[in-house]
Amino acid sequence: MKLNINGDYHEVDVEADMPLLWVLRDEIGLTGTKFGCGIAQCGACTVHLDGRPIRSCSYPVGNVKGKITTIESVGDPDILSKVQEAWIELQTPQCGYCQSGQIMSATALLANNPNPTDEDIDQAMAGNICRCGAYPRIRAAIHAAANAMKEV
């Protein structure tokens, strides 16, 4: 099977029912996407499929039709995305484990809604669990990223 991941094509020889998460981590070597719960409830495994956030831990790779984007391509060491810059500036993560999924969900939200309200953020981020309880900082970082995007 041939997958478009972060703009590059990867051929993998796996069962169609294998979760996308394990293809990304074990077959391709992209370990930024995290395993959290395995039942699509915590959001640590969030990636984009054609710009839409999905939970890769329960999404069969055989169902992938389109472009996959992982945390590795949201920004790079030289040019961080506005979301990542806001995360750093506001010291959003505590332990950091869930943050790749949080950033992927926040990036998808801002791509579709560049000026979200608190309610919009809460709704878009509801499926992303932060065990450390950094929710107020996550919301503040999303607002900061939205404001920074307006300045560009």
Q: What does the pLDDT look like over 46-100, one tens digit per residue? A: 999 999 999 999 999 999 999 999 999 976 554 468 999 999 999 999 999 999 9
63/87 same-domain check:
no
Question: Distance (Å, rounded) from C-alpha 13 to C-alpha 114?
Answer: 39
Residue where a domain terminates, one of 73, 94, 122:
73
What pLDDT is stored for residue 147 in this prediction? 95
Domain range holding 25?
A: 2-73
The reported pTM is 0.92
Q: Give how many domains the chain has, as a whole number.
A: 2
> What pLDDT sits at residue 152?
67
Average pLDDT for residues 105-131, to the nearest whole number? 95
Residue 78 pLDDT: 47
Which tokens go with 71?
A: 């945390």
Pick the last residue of a domain from 40, 73, 106: 73
The mean pLDDT of 126-146, rounded to a whole number, is: 95
Tell me how far apart the alpha carbons of residues 37 and 127 are, in angstroms, rounded to a whole number: 12
Same domain, 113 and 135: yes
Sheet order of strands, 52-55 included? 8-11, 2-5, 67-69, 46-49, 52-55
Query: Is 11 strand, coil or helix?
Result: strand
User: Hey, what are 54's tokens?
Assistant: 């999905």
